[in-house]
Structure 1
Amino acid sequence: MMRKIKLIWDFRGEVAAKTAEHHEIHLKEFIEVEKLEVNLTGFEILNDMYAIAFMVVEEKDMIAVRDALKPHRGEVFEENSKK
């Protein structure tokens, strides 16, 4: 089983939540255009001034997606956490 990587974009400021929510739309569009195998995206509001958008990809696709979309960071995705 191939590892999955959670690519994360950080947004800060008063409009962080709306920006992260909107960014997820573009991530879903990218998945569809590129026909990626994993289709897991989301956004989380961590507080009033900080939110993230994320996309989970197969490890084999990570470098290509990273280079195309320039996430701020990444981490190994734990299947049980769904976050």
Structure 2
Amino acid sequence: MRKIKLIWDFRGEVAAKTAEHHEIHLKEFIEAEKLGLNITGFEILNEMHTIAFMVVDEKDMIMVRDALKPHRGEVFE
């Protein structure tokens, strides 16, 4: 089964702190919904752009997308 990386973009001077905090909520969602995967993180792309992400099984993607409204997604390899 394919895995999908759902991504939230944060921009501005506090993007890194915001993305780091958002990851906490993603972990809480995974636990509350008892999702099969527990892969989350955040990446600082530059000083004004950071992403938070979570990886879900493709079968769970629609439910998570509708609940959490990520900005984009990509196949996770």
> What TM-score range do you get, normalising by the shorter chain?
over 0.9
Taking the TM superposition and a 5 Å limit, the aligned residue runs for 1:10-49 are 10-49=9-48
Q: What root-mean-square deviation, in Å, do the aligned CA atoms of Structure 1 and Structure 2 show?
A: 0.2
**Unmatched 5+ stretches in structure 1:** 79-83
TM-score, with structure 2 as normaliser: 0.99
Aligned length: 77
SS in 2 for 1:37: coil
Which structure shows the bigger proportion of residues in strand conformation? 2
Residue deviations 1:41-81 (CA, integer Å, cap 9, x gap) = 00000111000000000000000000000000000001xxx
Percent identity between the aligned chains?
88
Return the TM-score normalized by structure 1.
Answer: 0.92
The runs of 5 or more residues in structure 2 that have no matched partner are none
Tell me the equivalent position of 1:59: 58
2:70 counterpart SS class: coil
